[in-house]
Amino acid sequence: MSDGIAWIGTHHHTPPSAGPGMLGGISLTLARGMESDDFLINLGADLDELAARTPGGELRVPAGRPGQPSPLVNRAMYGTCGEWTYVVEDWGMATWATGYRGKVESMLPCEGEEIICLSANRFSPPALLVHAPDAWAYRADFGTDTGQGSVLDAALGAAGAVFPSMPEADEAEVVAYFEQHGERLPELVFTAVGAYTGVSVDRDAVEAGELPGVLLSPA
Q: What does the pLDDT look like over 161-213, one tens digit per residue?
A: 998 875 666 777 777 777 777 789 999 999 999 999 999 999 999 999 999 99
**Model pTM score:** 0.91
CB 174 within 8 A of CB 167: no
Q: Where are the alpha helices (DSSP H) in the chain?
A: 6-10, 36-43, 47-52, 95-101, 151-158, 171-181, 185-197, 203-208
Q: For residues 84 and 63, give the distance between their C-alpha atoms in angstroms, rounded to a whole number.
A: 33
Cα dihedral: 208, 214, 218, 219 (round 10): -150
Residue 115 has pLDDT above 50, yes or no: yes
Phi, psi of 127 (to 5 degrees): -60, 155
Q: What is the pLDDT of residue 71?
A: 57
At residue 171, the pLDDT reads 73
CA dist., res. 209 & res. 32, Å (int): 24
pLDDT digit string, tens, across residues 135-171: 999 999 999 999 999 999 999 999 999 988 756 667 7
Q: Locate the domains of the chain by residue range.
A: 6-142+199-216
